[in-house]
Amino acid sequence: MSGIVLALLNSLDIGLLLFIIAVGLNIVFGVLNVINFAHGALYMFGAYIAYSCIAVLGLSFWLTLVVAPILVAALAVIIDRVMLRFIYDREVTDSLLLTFGLLLILNESVRQIWGTGIHVVEPPAGLEGSITLFSGVTYPTYSLFVMLVGLLVLVGLWYLFNHTRTGRVMRAAALDHDMAQVLCINTRLVVTGAFAFGAWLAAVGGVVAAPMRAIDPGMGDKIIIESFIVVVIGGLGNFPGTLLGAIILGLLHGFGGRYLPGIHLVLPFIGMAVVLLIKPRGLLSKGATS
Amino acid sequence: MKKFLLLVVAVLVVIGLVILPWVAPYFYIFIGIEILILGLFAVSFNLIFGYTGMLSFGHAAFFGIGAYATAMLLKWLAWPLLACLLVAIVMGVLLALIIGYLSVRLDEVYFAMLTLAFGMMVFAVVHQWRSVTNGSDGISGFQVKSLGLGIDVMLANPAVYYHVVLVIVALALAVLYLICRSSFGLILKAIQQNPERVAFCGLNIRHYRLAAFTISGGFSALAGGLMVPFLRIASPELAHWTMSAEPVLMSILGGAGYFLGPLFGAGVFVLLKTVITTYTEAWMLVLGIILSIMVMFFRRGLLGTFLDRWLEKS
């Protein structure tokens, strides 16, 4: 019994963190029509900057949680102005190529700046150790905090896109770029803003993940592949689908890691293949196939 | 006149490639082998990219499976090289059928994501399945005893292996060229330019894309197999996504619009890599910057831009 509860908690933990990353990927796709292959690298940048802030500069975790994502968002604005603006009007293939080039640049930059070793960040005071939830089930406090952040992001995004003008403007620009421009919306600002916001979300995920995952140069690759799987399972541009996909992938990891250790690495891919066969446009798509 | 000049240049290049081992030191033979193999890899990648218009970020999976199939057969069964390469092609075709079947169902965006994801799945399997693939150590310690077909050559000699590679790559390129020139190849080009219109003509785009992907996977596996006697090891890096980035860059560098563009790109790529890695470790950083600049400003590639301009002036 306690095994199942632990597996469930692990699933939620992995799933909600994954949601933060994958939803950023989806927002950028929705507004820019670009799949950002470097999204995982931005997440990794968030984690490494958090390491530098906390372990090297001695800043507090909470200050880092504010500062690091802003730095990464600023980096994203630079990337948008220097690189992406050249290919806004080109075919989708060019944007894939360019963000792939960006992935190579960011990945190697991390190796050059921080080295190839593994870095560790301690959880902040008050969140270290474990707590007993109920009889016989103890769970790391920090992992519960990660779930809380995931839920906050979920609620925050729901509020942003449904109840604020900014969110509605973003949705309008995503729905019909030209029409939004005709309605006096500064779509250039929206596009750059959405890219920076996606990067900010990735970096929030990176900072939050830093104290519980090993920080190494391969972490960005792992998370981008998982985000792709989430997005394929849930459907590109489908926000409830992203949550569902993230939870499903979390469950595959949480329970697969515990009960099927031999093959749990390929379980997400098998899940993705099954979804592609049954509902190619994602589990929550409205029936119509390609 | 221009066609004639092009022909002269082509003949000179071929002669240069054939006599290279007799006139150049060993170092250049190694570079030549690498260019030829990676060139074949890039040209077969370009069948799906430049011709069909689908960007695959997972081609290292086929390169890797070809390399592992060859290395395993050489090590455990000591087969002749040609037989190993044949099996490598079959393995590549089968893997491409499976990955392709799942990946060509939707548009280019999905295709790029799915090929990268499935490519990394192959890498994860190769890396983790120690009992079969020997994990991160890779498979090494084999000898290439014979070529097959009763041909008696010293494969351990790099100059001889260079010529073997040259012949096989030339044959493979000839087959690929015929495929590109056939009506099948023309349909692929039509799909790249306007998939909807091709679909309205009553052709099943999905089948054509899958066929192109499968052929491409088979030839990529052949390239991977050829790499094994040269490197003397099949390691997981051959299946990693950074390996998938190489044919992408070569195609962009040379020009995806011309059949031999990627081969030319492979030449530039290997020479650049040789020069740059003597100065800095950050080769991937340079690679990313070059790729980005080419995509932003020289989308037709070096050879492509040159040929476009030159042929236009007539």
The model carries a pTM of: 0.88
Q: Is A288's pLDDT higher than 60?
A: no
pLDDT tens digit string along A215-239?
A: 999 899 889 989 999 998 988 888 8
**Hey, of B249, B291, B293, which one would you mutate to test binding to chain A, going by the most A CBs within 10 A of its CB?**
B291
Q: Is A41 at the interface with chain B, CB within 8 A?
A: no
pLDDT at B133: 82
Helix (H) or strand (E) holding A134: strand A130-134
Neighbouring C-beta atoms of residue A214, cutoff 10 Å: 13
d(CA B39, CA B268): 10
Residues of chain A contacting residue B110, judged by C-beta atoms under 8 Å apart: 232, 236
Residue B123 to chain A, least CA–CA distance (Å): 11
d(CA A45, CA A149): 19
pLDDT tens digit string along B281-309?
A: 888 899 899 999 988 888 888 888 888 88
| Distances B303 to B91, B287, B300 between C-alpha atoms, Å | 33, 18, 8
Secondary structure of residue A235 in the 3-state scheme: coil
- Cβ–Cβ of A232/B114 closer than 8 Å? yes
Q: Is B9's pLDDT higher than 90?
A: no
Of A87, A107, A273, Cβ closest to residue B296: A87
Q: Which residues, in sequence order, are CB contacts of B14 under 8 Å at separation 6+?
A: none
Residue A250 to chain B, least CA–CA distance (Å): 17
Confirm if B21 and B159 have CB atoms less than 8 A apart. yes
Q: Is A104 at the interface with chain B, CB within 8 A?
A: yes
What's the whole-number mean pLDDT along residues A145-153?
92
Q: Which residues, in sequence order, are CB contacts of B115 under 8 Å at separation 6+?
A: B56, B57, B58, B59, B99, B103, B244
pLDDT tens digit string along A88-114?
A: 878 888 888 999 999 999 999 999 999
Q: Is A277's pLDDT higher than 70?
A: yes
Q: Is B201's pLDDT higher than 60?
A: yes
- Cβ–Cβ of A221/B241 closer than 8 Å? yes
Q: Which residues, in sequence order, are CB contacts of B203 under 8 Å at separation 6+?
A: B187
- Cβ–Cβ of B113/A228 closer than 8 Å? yes
pLDDT > 70 in chain A, percent: 98
Q: Is A290's pLDDT higher than 50?
A: no
A119: β partners: A215
d(CA A64, CA A209): 13
Average pLDDT, chain B: 88
What's the whole-number mean pLDDT along residues B84-94?
94
B148: β partners: B151
d(CA A100, CA B63): 19
In angstroms, how far apart are the furthest CA atoms of chain A? 61
d(CA A141, CA B224): 48
What's the whole-number mean pLDDT along residues A25-43?
89
Q: Is B130's pLDDT higher than 50?
A: yes
d(CA A151, CA B222): 49
pLDDT at B277: 87
What's the whole-number mean pLDDT along residues B227-246?
89
Helix (H) or strand (E) holding A279: none
d(CA A273, CA A279): 10
pLDDT at A286: 66
d(CA A154, CA A156): 5
Residue A67 to chain B, least CA–CA distance (Å): 26
pLDDT at A287: 53
Q: Which two tokens stand for residue A99?
A: 């963000």
Work out the pLDDT band at B150, boundaries 50, 70, 90: low
Of A96, A272, A281, Cβ closest to residue B55: A96
pLDDT at A68: 93
pLDDT tens digit string along A193-218?
A: 999 999 999 999 999 999 888 899 98
pLDDT > 90 in chain B, percent: 40
Secondary structure of residue A119 in the 3-state scheme: strand
Confirm if A83 and A98 have CB atoms less than 8 A apart. yes
Average pLDDT, chain A: 87
Work out the pLDDT band at A266, boundaries 50, 70, 90: confident
Q: Is B241's pLDDT higher than 60?
A: yes
Work out the pLDDT band at A285, boundaries 50, 70, 90: confident
